[in-house]
Amino acid sequence: MKWLKNLPGRLYAAYALLLFICMMLIMLLPMWLVSLLPAPLDIKYFTTLGRVWVHIYLPLIFCPVRVKGRQYFKSEGPYIIVCNHNSFVDIPATFYAIPDASKSLAKKEMVKTPIFGIMYRVGSVLVDRNDPESRKQSFVDMKEVLQQGVHMLLYPEGTRNKTDDPLKFFYDGAFSLAVETKKPILPTVIFNTRKILPVGKGFYAKPHKIDVHFLPPVEVDGLSMEELKEQVFNTMWDYIKLWQ
C-alpha cells in the first residue's frame, strides 16, 4: 500500500511546513522593520535575521548543516557566489552557510506573494525574465549590490536540476557579471537537499543532513566569459562527482 509507505514522509512534510509558517510569522515584524532601513543596512540586518531563523529551523526539522570552506570569506571584497540548485531547501541552506550579507536573483512576481513579498523585496534583486528591459535593469542592480560590498548569490542552472547529471547547463549571467565587475566567483556546492525533497514525490519530505562546500575563489583576470563559465562548471562538476 503506497499511501501507507509514504505516510511518514507526508507527516514529516506537514510538521516542517507548519513549523516554517509559525517561525515566518514570528520573524515577519522584525523583517518588515529592517526593510525600512536604507541600503545596504537593510540587507545586512535582513540576512542576520535570516541566519538566526534557519539556525533554529533546520536543526528543529532534523536537517543539520555542515559547512566547509567558510574561511574564503575572510578575504576582501564581495563574491559572486555560484551555486548548484537541486531543491527549495537550497535557499535556507545557503542562508545558513554564507556568513556575510548576500542577495540572490528572484522573479519579480514573487513580490506579490503574501508575506513572502517583503522578504523577496529586501533579500533579492528582482527580474521579469520575459522583459528585456527588466533583465538589463537587474544586471545594473546586481552591480550596485556588489559595489555596496554585498555578495550576489546566483544559480547559473536557472532552475532546479531534476536530471541524473551533477549539473545542468550554465547560463551566462553570473559570468558576464563577473567579467564586467572583475569580482571573483566563489563556486559553491550543496549536497543532499534533493534527498529531503525528492523529485516527483509531491507533498513528501524526509530529514537528512545538508553539506555546503565553498570551493576556492576563481579570479576573473585574463579569462573571457566563456572560459570563466567553463572553468567554474568543470570545477563544480568534478567536485560533485568526487563527493557523490
Question: CATH number, domain at 11?
Answer: 3.40.1130
Query: In terms of Cα–Cα distance, which of 165, 186, 166, 168 is closest to 228?
Result: 186
pLDDT at 113 over 90: no
Q: How confident is the model at residue 115, as a pLDDT?
A: 66
**pTM > 0.85: yes or no:** yes
- Mean pLDDT (whole number) for 108-131: 80
Strands (DSSP E) contained in the chain are 65-68, 80-83, 102-107, 124-127, 151-154, 185-191, 210-214
Q: How many angstroms separate the first and last alpha carbons of the chain?
A: 32
Q: How confident is the model at residue 215, as a pLDDT?
A: 97
* 62 touches 19 (CB < 8 A): no
* Confidence at 114, pLDDT banded by 50, 70, 90: low
Domain that holds residue 173: 2-243
- Number of structural domains found in the chain: 1
* 218 touches 232 (CB < 8 A): yes
For residue range 161-187, list pLDDT tens digits in order. Answer: 999 899 999 999 999 999 999 999 999
For residue range 33-85, list pLDDT tens digits in order. Answer: 998 999 899 999 999 999 999 999 999 999 999 999 999 998 777 999 999 99
* 120 touches 78 (CB < 8 A): no
Q: Which three cell numbers stand for residue 216?
A: 576556492
Query: In terms of Cα–Cα distance, which of 213, 172, 218, 221 is closest to 193?
Result: 213
